[in-house]
Structure 1
Amino acid sequence: MAHRGGIKIGPGEPRYEVLRRGFNARWLAARPDYIRLPRSSAEVKTALQEALDEPASPERSRITIRSGGHCYEDFVCAPDVRVIIDLSLMDGAHVDDGMGAFCMEAGLTLGQFYKKMYQRTGKTLPGGSWSTVALGGHVTGGGFGLLSRQHGLTVDYLYAVEVAVVDRTGTVELVTATRDDDDPDLKDLWWAHTGGGGGNFGIVTRMWFRDLPQAPRSVLSAMGGWRWEEIDEDRFRCIVGNFGAFFEEHQGGPGDEYAALFGILTLNHASQPQIGLMAQIDSGVPNARELIRNFEREINQGVGRELHPLTVAIGEHPVFAAGEVLGEHATFGRVREELLAVPWTVTEKVSAPHNAKCGKHKSAYMRKALPAEQVTALWRSLTEDRGTRREAVVQIDSYGSAVNRLKPDDTAVVQRDSIMKLQHQIYWPADQDGTDHLRWIRTLYRNMYHGGVPVPNEVTDGCYINYPDTDLNDSAWNTSGVPWFTLYYGANYPRLQRAKRRWDPGNVFRHGQSVEL
């Protein structure tokens, strides 16, 4: 039904069952009164105001916002949610001459965004490679991707945000905050969206980006896998150690020829066929082809086993399963060159709002290579019960380089001296009990980190808010004494609280790990 607050979908309508949930099939219990789909900032304002003015019970009072629906926890879809405001119809993008910036709406997906930006400007944004993720959540959490070692984080280019906020009287207003604002409150509102996470301060409707990097003419990418059947513990330690040592050495300082190379190590459970390795580099970098070959040689040095074509999907990323092999003994001479007539980091896929799998995710920033005890914990969990197929992976992404050019308080992303970022993942069918899968990933994580979490210290530096994990709130799994908000935000948390008190004094926008008043 059309409305000045957008389309309204209630129970009984065919679209309701699809739209009441997100991508992760763990969260199927939400039965909101309705889902609202606004098509403009004005309709967002109206939809939010009407939702606020409606009577609500304490048990079902939350109004939540969804842009792409990929939230890993039940922050958007849960039994206490009364209204979901879905921004997926707000997918416009244009060059804003008045602002001197590229403007996008919050429901625009990464796949749409890369294509529109490249075709209109020849520019790009160093964001993620999962094309159905929307920018409203990805950017506000400090999104990163395969071009981040070359160009930094998405938030490093965020110039302005338009946000629907709620004042102390319950009145909604649209506020635009920029990087250049003299008003400290507005400056805080902009800053809070440079890594403070989504769903904390208001509804982001539009974003503007300035000084975007030129898209590469093409990129070189290569991938391959070691067969698990050929990997013993010593070889496993060699692979993980070589990967960490490489990025400890190549942190993007002056003269570092590998500053633009992005590498991914995918440590699949041993019930799967392979451990995976991927690399990508801008083909315009001097000696790019030789650099990517040297990368493979260094990671495989001392392993004594060659890399084979990668044959398995990686968690939520099936795009990584089809590519050229790393390794001189196979087809490494055919390192793939992807021309940029279309987006180069993603394979276009239908933007399905959900899938049939449940998932649990955890994360860690690494300032140094993984110490021996962490590698031991990985080996034990990844080789546990090889006979039972487990769709689990610890993905280690390279980090640092251009990401670390900014200071920790320049944006809300405090982690600005890490060299790797880990994502611990496990998946299981929605019709299967997840108890054992949750036990597996929780035990692995607890065994990897002292106190059960990657406490900021000389080796680790907390967690990534875009991979939310409510176990960080639970003293049964976090015995470190370090609260969840320190793990995500470090010393930047008090400023985020200041922004919260100013722009969401009624705590309208709240979830299991929202910024506290």
Structure 2
Amino acid sequence: MAFDLVTVSDRRHSALQKGFNLRWPLGNVQGQSSTKGANLIYLCRSPQDIMDAAAQALALPNGRITVRSGGHCYEGFVANKMPDSPNEVLSILDISALNRVVYDASGQIGSELSPTQPFRYRFRLEAGSQVWDSYSALYKQANKTLPGGSCYSVGLGGHICGGGYGLLSRKYGLVCDWLSGVDILVPDSQGKGLEPRHVSRDSTQQDELDLFAACCGAGGGQFGIITSYYFEDLPPAPKEVLWLVLEWDWSVLTQDALNNLLVAYQRWFASHQSNPDTWGLATKLEMRHEHTGNITLGIHYVDKEGELNDRAPFDDFVDKMLTAIGLPATESLVPFHVVHLPPGTAGGRPIDSVSSAQAAARRLDWLVCQQTLNGSGDNQRGRYKSAYQKGEFSPQVLQAIWTTLTWPDPDNHLTQSLIQIQSFGGQINAASAPVRKESSAAQRSSFLKWQPQCYWHDDSAAADQAHADWIRELYGNAFADAQGVPLNNAFEGCYINYPDLDMTYTGGNPANGKNPQWYKIFFPDLMIESRLRRTKQRWDPHNIFRNEMSVP
């Protein structure tokens, strides 16, 4: 057996128990292993390693396996033992060493797991490859890209099967919309090991098509272990990008000004959904708690040809936002991934017109821009939520946002806390019928995507509770008429790749009991939800791959 087995006696054990979010495993202390985390970590270098490791781990009494590629799961689904299972022997199968990016211009790449299958592809991306490495390799090998995320160390394993969303998704759609085939190790009939399968968008068996669709947006760690993703084609990498970050200091910000900006922000993307020439404009609006810092609006733009010859959509967007807020912005000077921007530090040149925005915008080669924006930030404790917004901002939601940004914080806990609202829609919403048919990405009507988030280093119970209260109150107030859940006429639920255990409770609050209908919040399309339940029963009837938010 070629895998490397890390046990508690190995000095690497405490580090390899952990992922990016240092809330996990429960009881996490730096330099120490947690009894509530993985007992064993298998470092796998091939699909055969994974099968051998799974067989060994599942043969242990009370054995359970999880899989890790990049380690960015927001909740503790990989790192934690299941609740009320103190005798569980948890093994993490780390597949980060499976990180090759393979390209064949003639399109003759076959399945590594099932080479007798007739399907052929141009690209094979192994599931352990990280986002930045994949972008760089695809650009250099084929002048292609993935319309994926901008955190460099996220692994493709969980990113793509959860949908795969990023700054090029309005222009090109979700990464999973381009997916053509998948190598996946699924449980055997006894649930004692794994066996190889290849499923394709062109599979002829319905149960294989269902499994492929589950790999297109249902999230990872639920049906098997994906080892490779296959693509018949990928979108061309843009030549250049226009990049600008506007910043508004808290000293000049008013509630009315922010409300006006938010209303105009949503309306711009909703009103331009029908114009593909504008889909190359993508944004991140980051509204920080007043103890965290200023408001920023990052604007990433390429024209319809992937160049910068037509800048009319960029100019129009900037003009509409500056007019709406009615306050001059400044050019933000700090790296975009920095969360803490103390009020009073906005020192960039003033931006109060389209011409001043044009002068401040940076014209960057596409690969340079991706490297510039590819920041994952510090490994620390974090909490996250999500929401898809299809309608306008109501007075209730606007008030909830302002209340959250000015939330009393006498102990100064909220120094890395923000409400991020990103652009959405475009090609995502315009996906073809064949793509939608084999997709589990249920939200195809929204124009904005929320990602409230907060970070902290202090591992005290008080710090943990302060951040939990802050982020929960946002949803409790914003969606009070929907029992604290973003599922109503203006919102279409949450993103499975930003998992949030709060949403599994009634009212989105763990103080209440479990909500038996929680899965509909993430998959509000009944056809998709029903298919995922059926697929789980077909491919993993023994529930080998389980966590607190796996298919119920």
TM-score normalised by structure 1 residue count:
0.91
Alignment of 1:122-271 (within 5 A): 122-169=143-190, 170-251=192-273, 253=274, 255-271=275-291
In structure 1, the residue matched to 2:468 is: 438
State which of 434, 441, 447 in structure 2 corresponds to 1:419. 447
SS at 2:210 equivalent: helix
- Residue identity matched to 2:47: S
In structure 2, the residue matched to 1:447 is: 477
Aligned-pair distance for 1:316?
7.3
- Residue identity matched to 1:136: G
Aligned-pair distance for 1:322?
12
Measure, in 1, the Cα distance between the counterparts of 2:282 and 2:79. 34
In structure 2, the residue matched to 1:65 is: 67
How many residues get paired? 503
In structure 2, the residue matched to 1:396 is: 421
- Residue identity matched to 2:362: R
Contact 1:272–1:389, Cα closer than 8 Å, also in 2: no
Aligned-pair distance for 1:228?
1.1
Aligned in 2, Cα 1:348/1:398: closer, same or farther, shift over 3 Å? closer
Measure, in 2, the Cα distance between the counterparts of 1:226 and 1:350. 22
Aligned-pair distance for 1:256?
4.7
In structure 2, the residue matched to 1:39 is: 45
Higher relative contact order (CA closer than 8 Å, sequence separation 6+):
1
In structure 1, the residue matched to 2:549 is: 513
Identity rate of aligned residues, in percent?
Answer: 33
**Cα deviations by residue, 1:210-258 (Å, 9 ceiling, x for unpaired):** 221111111111112111110111111111111111112111x2x4532
Aligned-pair distance for 1:285?
5.3
**Cα deviations by residue, 1:316-365 (Å, 9 ceiling, x for unpaired):** 7799x99998654856413211114x45323387999xx44211101100
Structure 1: gaps (5+ residues): none
Aligned in 2, Cα 1:404/1:476: closer, same or farther, shift over 3 Å? closer
1:110 pairs with 2:131 = yes
Aligned-pair distance for 1:291?
2.6
After TM superposition, which residue ranges in structure 1, 4 or more long, deviate above 6 angstroms? 313-319, 321-325, 348-352, 479-482
Aligned-pair distance for 1:15?
1.6
In structure 1, the residue matched to 2:97 is: 89
In structure 2, the residue matched to 1:488 is: 522
Contact 2:201–2:438, Cα closer than 8 Å, also in 1: no
Aligned in 2, Cα 1:317/1:163: closer, same or farther, shift over 3 Å? farther
Measure, in 1, the Cα distance between the counterparts of 2:374 and 2:207. 40
1:366 pairs with 2:394 = no
User: Bigger shift: 474-483 or 106-115?
Assistant: 474-483
Aligned in 2, Cα 1:87/1:350: closer, same or farther, shift over 3 Å? farther
SS at 1:185 equivalent: helix
Aligned-pair distance for 1:417?
1.1
- Residue identity matched to 2:258: F
Aligned in 2, Cα 1:40/1:256: closer, same or farther, shift over 3 Å? closer
SS at 1:230 equivalent: coil
Contact 2:207–2:535, Cα closer than 8 Å, also in 1: yes
Aligned-pair distance for 1:312?
5.7
What RMSD over aligned residues (CA atoms) do the two structures have, in Å? 2.6
